[in-house]
A and B are shown apart, each in its own frame.
Chain A
């Protein structure tokens, strides 16, 4: 499978007209095919807004986004995106397997994974995320971490070229989050999708991504783009490397400066 690159040029987003809030301002970011990019920043910096602009759910007020020669809206119509939300957003009336098969039912003939084996494909995805024994459970019968894994399997079920993830593991405990991070790296390694991953955890961003993009808040601007010096596949032990600590410290420092600026601005 081939990934698809994304070019974000001078994207700005303003809510509520002229006097409104500037959520994003002059965002430039080029993501190559198959790359894993993490967006980090304080809450309210417009990370989620940027994901929604890239996926064609929101129209930016300035600038443009190019998804391999298509506008985001065209790419969305071609079902190039998989989206994992902050909440699992499963349909409670469908069983776990039914939720993973939902995209197939909605897409019908447009599903590239369509074929006689599509239930098999869904079962394999559930096995990849460690849920093979829970196919027949309802979402209400499994834990929060499991639900988020079902959401991941659902997003991957139609081989989207680009995977967009909006703080998918933010509500989970540390152990579950570590395990899901490993599973995510494993799955992405297999599919080679382009990933844009929003998180507020610097450690999670460095562990997962090829590049980490720091955003400032109000207005959201790119303050730093850091290359992550570790090869893939990675194990959890990279987090104890001195370079990992150094990069974490550097990015955290940026966030703190940001906080001081914000504080000073409020005192004015």
Chain B
């Protein structure tokens, strides 16, 4: 690691210090509040109790249930994003198809995922499919909207330049539309990455025999709030990791100055 890279790592760590401080303060407030109010532990476990639960159960939960949830989420993410990018390509080249189909994409977005999940469980049973499909459905819209916008985010002069060079549609697509859409595509993928985990867990609620959603639902039947908190903490941590993996890919793909869109 060069000294410049190291100083960048140090900078990043220093920048995230305030956020970490907020996290620590939150834990302390939680711990103190539970102890001072003397609330029943089965309703509100303290931060330290959840911590010890995580230490005890965390590794096996992560190796088994969280792994399944993330497989479902990532597969759904890939499927939904892929479908969304393909749809965006069609939309950009056939305005008519966009006019016909885009309203239905919005309808699809407004359908409550929680209501669709039980239906898919009836059709597919306690298998991988309903989870992947729900995760894919939830990823589809943000990627579609961003990618379509990205394909269109080119100046009329850039298009005229390509026409002066008598470029083919194919060439305009690969050399102009795809690179200029990438910042938008990644903005959509980052949103989709966190949503995909939520989608997988919601699908697990309606019928599963493993996964973090399954663990949380089972724990709720037993009023095991400690395990529920542990599941919540693990799944959101996994979501954060997924988000950051996509962020790292984005930094690798978008190397030119001011490429990344402000979030």
Q: CB within 8 Å of B: which residues of A?
A: 52, 55, 57, 76-79, 81-83, 85-87, 89, 91-94, 102-103, 105-107, 110, 138, 140-141
Contact (Cβ within 8 A) B175 A77:
no
Residue contact A106 to B163, C-beta cutoff 8 Å? no
A144 to chain B, nearest CB (A): 15
Docked-complex contact A107 and B165, CB < 8 angstroms: yes
B155 adjacent to chain A (CB < 8 Å):
yes
- The reply to whether A83 and B164 contact each other, CB–CB distance below 8 Å, is yes
Q: Which of B73-81, B116-124, B254-262 contacts A (4 or more CB under 8 A)?
A: B254-262
Contacts across chains A and B counted by CB atoms under 8 Å: 63
Contact of B257 with A89 in the complex, beta carbons under 8 Å = no
Least CB distance, A52 to chain B, in whole angstroms: 8
B167 A87 Cβ-Cβ under 8 A? no
Pair A83/B166 contact, Cβ less than 8 Å: no
Contact A93 B163 (CB under 8 A): no
Contacts of B169-224 to chain A: CB distance below 8 A: 171, 175-176, 179-180, 182
Q: Which of A57, A78, A87, A102 contacts B163 (CB 8 A)?
A: A57
* Contact assessment for A138 and B256 in the assembled complex, using a CB-CB cutoff below 8 Å: yes
CB contact between B164 and one of A82, A87, A140 (< 8 Å): that residue: A82
22 CB-based A-B contacts, threshold 8 Å = A76-B163, A79-B164, A79-B166, A81-B164, A89-B158, A91-B158, A91-B175, A91-B179, A92-B258, A93-B254, A93-B255, A93-B256, A94-B256, A102-B175, A103-B165, A105-B175, A106-B167, A107-B165, A107-B166, A138-B256, A138-B257, A140-B256
Interface size on B, residues (CB 8 A): 23
Q: Are A83 and B160 in contact (CB under 8 A)?
A: yes
Please name all residues of chain A whose beta carbon is closer than 8 Å to the beta carbon of B258 when the two chains form the complex.
92, 140
A180 and B76 alpha carbons, distance in the complex (Å): 54
CB distance from A101 to the nearest CB of B (A): 11
Residues of A within 8 A of B19 (CB): none
**Residues of B contacting A141 in the complex (Cβ-Cβ under 8 angstroms):** 257
Chain B contacts to A: CB under 8 angstroms: 155, 157-158, 160-167, 171, 175-176, 179-180, 182, 254-259
Residues of A within 8 Å of B166, CB to CB, are 76-79, 107, 110
- What 10 additional pairs, Cβ within 8 angstroms, besides A81-B164, A85-B157, A91-B179? A57-B163, A57-B164, A77-B166, A79-B165, A79-B166, A82-B164, A83-B161, A92-B257, A106-B167, A138-B257
Q: Chain A residues near B175 (CB, 8 Å)?
A: 91, 102, 105-106
* Minimum C-beta distance from B178 to chain A (A): 10
B183 to chain A, nearest CB (A): 9
Among A82, A86, A93, the residue within 8 A (CB) of B179 is: A93
By beta carbon, the residue of chain B nearest A140 is: B257
Q: Say yes or no: A106 contacts B171, CB within 8 Å.
A: yes
Q: A-B pairs with the 7 shortest C-beta distances?
A: A140-B257, A89-B157, A83-B164, A106-B165, A93-B179, A85-B157, A93-B256
Q: How far is the CB of B143 from chain A (nearest CB, A)?
A: 20
Most buried by A among B157, B254, B259: B157
